[in-house]
Amino acid sequence: MSQSKLKILLIGSGGIGTITAYALETGGLAEVTAILRSNFAVVEKNGFTIDSVDHGYVQGWRPSHIRNTIPTAQEKKFDYIILTTKSIPDIPPPLPDLIAPAILPSHTAIILIQNGVNVEHPFQEQFPTNPIISGVSFTSATEVELGLIRHDDHDRVRLGPFPYPRNQDSGGGDTNTNNSTIDVQFDTDVPATRWRKLIYNASFNPVSAILRMDVTRMRVYEHVIDELVKPAMREVIAVARALDVKLDGDEEGVIEQAVRCDPPEAFFRPSMCQDVEKGNYMEIENIVGEPLREGGRLGVSTPTLKTIYAILKGLQVKVKEEGGLVEPRFDERSRYAGKSESMA
């Protein structure tokens, strides 16, 4: 008797999401419904073209179902909802509200494969009876144009339950996968994995966006690393340690590893830099805002993160203006309305 396939709803069919959907479907155990937005018309007509280090060159592929709206739980009973979309809580609608129609209480498990920290809390608050799985992806996959996916680093995903187990063991986990091209592991210490990735993401990512500079140039012009990137990394590590997050290795060793993790010849532009250049919204809150707020709560000084966060919010508000979310006008709450006497 054949095994019934898991019904999966995938939110975020860009690079990471498409590779996730492809791996799940070719593994034979999942039927994926993918929600597409800007690329819906292209994929509906031509399918995805995937150029993958793991899967080869694939043309005209589609998951079992594609939609541009969220189905309801009455339409289809989903076992899992996987979110691989960017976490941008300052841009409506909130992701928990977006997926709410498809949630079956006490049944649908929510898998969050997103960057940053504290991404799980809004989902736990809105769906208290649903299992939440927190995930970190180390895969490099980009939608270079609508429907065209470039996948140039092997699939590596770490997953663990949320709330996190109290007695965390940082010794890794067993690989659980039915597809030899994917490295999926149960993570016994997701906070450590998230914060370790954040050491890079809360430093190189925002600095690259602010300066419009690739990582190679930052390393060539050393003051960018010494005066911006490394101080931000040290602040992230200090906040993590104040939270009792286990980060293996000494601080300077961890920092040097993060600084040198990209090939120097690659001239790599982190995702936040690509977003600001394209006029897209950036993942500010969970990557920079949350460690900054945790630091404030715990009394950890984070002056570099504070400055970076303020500049990023300024860049973000420009994109919000272009998208019609805000307008540059004063109201009764404005603290800087009116004109002072001349300073001369």
Same domain (yes/no): 165, 197? no
Same domain (yes/no): 167, 238? no
Same domain (yes/no): 169, 197? no
Are the C-beta atoms of 285 and 90 separated by less than 8 Å? yes
Length of the chain: 344
Same domain (yes/no): 13, 114? yes
Residue 175 — very low, low, confident or very high, per pLDDT cuts 50/70/90? very low
Are the C-beta atoms of 6 and 79 separated by less than 8 Å? yes
Torsion of CA 257, 263, 267, 271, to 10 degrees: -60
Residue 340 falls within a domain, yes or no?
A: no
Same domain (yes/no): 36, 163? yes
The fraction of the chain above a pLDDT of 70, given in percent, is 94
Residue 342 falls within a domain, yes or no?
A: no
| Residue span of the structural domain in which 148 resides | 6-188
Rounded to an integer, the average pLDDT of 17-22 is 94
Confidence (pLDDT) at 165: 73
Residue 328 falls within a domain, yes or no?
A: no
Same domain (yes/no): 107, 125? yes
Q: Do the strands 109-113 and 56-61 form a parallel or antiparallel pair, or are they unpaired?
A: unpaired
Q: For 198, phi and psi rounded to 5 degrees? A: -65, -25
Residue 299 falls within a domain, yes or no?
A: yes
Distance CA 127, CA 183 (A): 29
Residue 74 — very low, low, confident or very high, per pLDDT cuts 50/70/90? very high
Q: What is the CA radius of gyration of the chain?
A: 21
CATH number at residue 46: 3.40.50.720
Q: Do the strands 148-151 and 65-67 form a parallel or antiparallel pair, or are they unpaired?
A: unpaired
Distance CA 260, CA 50 (A): 29
Residue 120 falls within a domain, yes or no?
A: yes
Residue 43 — very low, low, confident or very high, per pLDDT cuts 50/70/90? very high
pLDDT over 90 at 340, yes or no: no
Kindly list the distances between the CA atom of residue 152 and the CA atoms of 97, 140, 208, in Å, as whole numbers in the listed order.
33, 6, 21
Dihedral sign, Cα of residue 147, residue 155, residue 261, residue 172? positive
Q: What is the pLDDT of residues 137-170, one digit of tens each?
A: 998 888 989 999 999 888 789 999 998 875 544 4
Same domain (yes/no): 93, 126? yes
Same domain (yes/no): 165, 222? no
Residue 173 — very low, low, confident or very high, per pLDDT cuts 50/70/90? very low
pLDDT over 90 at 118, yes or no: yes
User: How much is the mean pLDDT over the chain?
Assistant: 92
Confidence (pLDDT) at 208: 98
Q: In the listed set 146, 169, 188, which residue is the last one of a domain according to the structure? A: 188
The fraction of the chain above a pLDDT of 90, given in percent, is 81
Residue 1 falls within a domain, yes or no?
A: no
Residue type present at position 274: Q
Nearest to 9 by CA among 79, 74, 58, 112: 79
Least confident of 113-122, 144-153, 170-179, 268-277: 170-179
Q: How many CB atoms lie within 10 A of CB 40?
A: 18
Residue 1 — very low, low, confident or very high, per pLDDT cuts 50/70/90? very low
Q: Determine which helix (DSSP H) or strand (DSSP E) holds 310, and give its type and residue range.
A: helix 303-322
Q: In the listed set 163, 188, 213, which residue is the last one of a domain according to the structure? A: 188
pTM, two decimals, is 0.91
Same domain (yes/no): 177, 239? no
Residue 334 falls within a domain, yes or no?
A: no
Same domain (yes/no): 133, 35? yes
Distance CA 306, CA 255 (A): 19
Rounded to an integer, the average pLDDT of 181-196 is 89
Same domain (yes/no): 181, 206? no
Are the C-beta atoms of 71 and 101 separated by less than 8 Å? yes
* Both tokens assigned to 22: 């492809």
Confidence (pLDDT) at 2: 57
Residues with Cβ within 8 Å of 81's Cβ and at least 6 positions away in sequence, in order, are 8, 9, 10, 11, 99, 102, 103, 108, 109, 110, 111
Are the C-beta atoms of 132 and 120 separated by less than 8 Å? yes
CATH number at residue 281: 1.10.1040.10
Count of domains observed in the chain: 2
Same domain (yes/no): 163, 142? yes
